[in-house]
Amino acid sequence: LPYGRVWNFAAGPSTLPVSVLEEVQRDLLNYKGHGMSIMEMSHRSKEYGKIIGDAEATLRRILNVPDNYSVLFMQGGGTGEFAAAYLNLFASKAVSEKQRRLGRQLSCDYLVTGKWSKGGLKEVARLGGKPNAVFDGVVSNTEAEPSVSYGSLPPVSSWKLGRPEETAFVYYCENETIHGVEMPSDLVLDAVDPSVPVICDMSSNMLSRPVDISRFGAIIAGAQKNMGPAGVTLVIVRKDLLERDDSDKEAIQRLPSVLDWRYFDKAGSMPHTPPTFSIYVCGLVFKWAEEQGGLEVLQKLREARAKLVYNMIDAHPDFFHGPVDKRYRSAMNIVFNLPTPELEAQFLADAAKRNIIQLKGHRSLGGIRVSLYNAMPLEGAIEFVAFMKDFYNEHHN
């Protein structure tokens, strides 16, 4: 690999395209002849205005963002947006009016498919909201003790969605990075009453496939997996949800400026100093994605990478145990177990000897996790699967 690099299968921050890093390297000392680093440039300069403007324009093209949606570059990560989604929606005119009609606080529906959607729900509870778990994992009664797991989704017919007139929004996480569970957007969008806005956390599968933005109320995504370095968070929000009923002072008073979508929208994402470097790198990644042929091409690649790994898992189910329901297997984060924890430790150590790193499952789950984001070339997946095969040959009975 160039520059002594390794195959980095981290769940995030994760690998970036080498051509992007090379351009960053050139711009680090002297940004395109301006005599200063990209990191040293004022966010109020003409040059930087063009950088952030181009980043937004390219993103709008590749994602086909309709004109009635705002694109915001914010800070605070996915976690910041757990709070922001709730606080902004409850400060919106639409929710204020609905609450006035109902005469009490609306609830909000959370589909709990894993740790990250649960994190969104917990944040709402912490802020005094009324989150309703539409479901919380899959409850299995097949054993003596009922158990809850996050390897699948319960059938739509069993979801306990609130009544539309009592619900502010429905929230879900489309790719649970830790559990390796990913679902098609339509599964949720088709189940929800069209009058209720759907908020989606796409932190770990954003830009990996085309999305029909027009069906969402808002999409939130930390950049550090598929889009760029940590530090910037993307929000795409339908503009009518930014309208406020200024008489509803309480909801607005609870909303800090740094999480206020409308405040960012009005100031072109720069009401205060933005994470200039991270946004600049994201802009280069968006351009890179466009040059690859856009999201249809990136989708084909993501399916090809994931298929290689899942085929290997399925070929040796006695050795590689994939716990996720095949219908909801993630193409971005593939989790599996080996027969013993000792073999898993050996797997990580042997992989490292072949420059294949960051395969350890999340600390809450253990096992192996291989993350295959946009910037991972197909060769990376081929290399990993060749290692799986060799390890299998050496260690299976």
Of residues 120 and 385, the one with the C-beta less far from ligand PLP: 120
C-alpha distances out from residue 15 to 2, 10, 357, Å: 13, 7, 11
Among 113, 204, 208, 330, binds ligand PLP (CB under 6 A): 204
Say if residues 173 and 116 touch (Cβ distance below 8 Å).
yes
* Minimal distance, residue 295 CB to ligand PLP, in Å: 19
* Rounded-to-integer distance, Cα 383 and Cα 358, Å: 14
DSSP 295-336: HHHHHHHHHHHHHHHHHHHHH-TTTSB--S-GGGB-SSEEEE
Of residues 27 and 201, the one with the C-beta less far from ligand PLP: 201
* Minimal distance, residue 326 CB to ligand PLP, in Å: 21
With tokens 């705002």, the residue in question is: 70
Taking CB under 6 A as the binding criterion, the range among 164-172, 198-206, 279-287, 303-311 that sits at the site for ligand PLP is: 198-206
For residue 32, give both structure tokens: 């395109």
One character per residue 217-256, x = contact with ligand PLP (rule: CB under 6 A): -----x----------------------------------
One character per residue 97-136, x = contact with ligand PLP (rule: CB under 6 A): -------------------x--------------------
Size of the site for ligand PLP (CB under 6 A): 11
Residue 83 as a binder of ligand PLP (CB under 6 A): the answer is no
Among 78, 322, 361, 380, binds ligand PLP (CB under 6 A): 78
* Rounded-to-integer distance, Cα 248 and Cα 105, Å: 12
Say if residues 165 and 200 touch (Cβ distance below 8 Å).
no
Taking CB under 6 A as the binding criterion, the range among 47-55, 73-81, 192-200, 340-348 that sits at the site for ligand PLP is: 73-81
Of residues 236 and 312, the one with the C-beta less far from ligand PLP: 236
Residue 12 as a binder of ligand PLP (CB under 6 A): the answer is yes
Say if residues 248 and 90 touch (Cβ distance below 8 Å).
no
Which of 91, 85, 89 has its CA nearest to residue 246? 91
Among 92, 203, 208, 276, binds ligand PLP (CB under 6 A): 203
* Rounded-to-integer distance, Cα 244 and Cα 95, Å: 9
* Rounded-to-integer distance, Cα 275 and Cα 82, Å: 19
Taking CB under 6 A as the binding criterion, the range among 17-25, 71-79, 278-286, 352-360 that sits at the site for ligand PLP is: 71-79
Among 177, 226, 337, 374, binds ligand PLP (CB under 6 A): 177
Of residues 180 and 380, the one with the C-beta less far from ligand PLP: 180
Task: Characterize the bridge pairing of strands 333-336 and 198-201.
Answer: unpaired
Residues recognised as catalytic: 116, 201, 225
* Rounded-to-integer distance, Cα 18 and Cα 29, Å: 18
Task: Characterize the bridge pairing of strands 233-238 and 218-222.
Answer: antiparallel
Binding site for ligand PLP (CB under 6 A): 12, 77-79, 116, 173, 177, 201, 203-204, 222
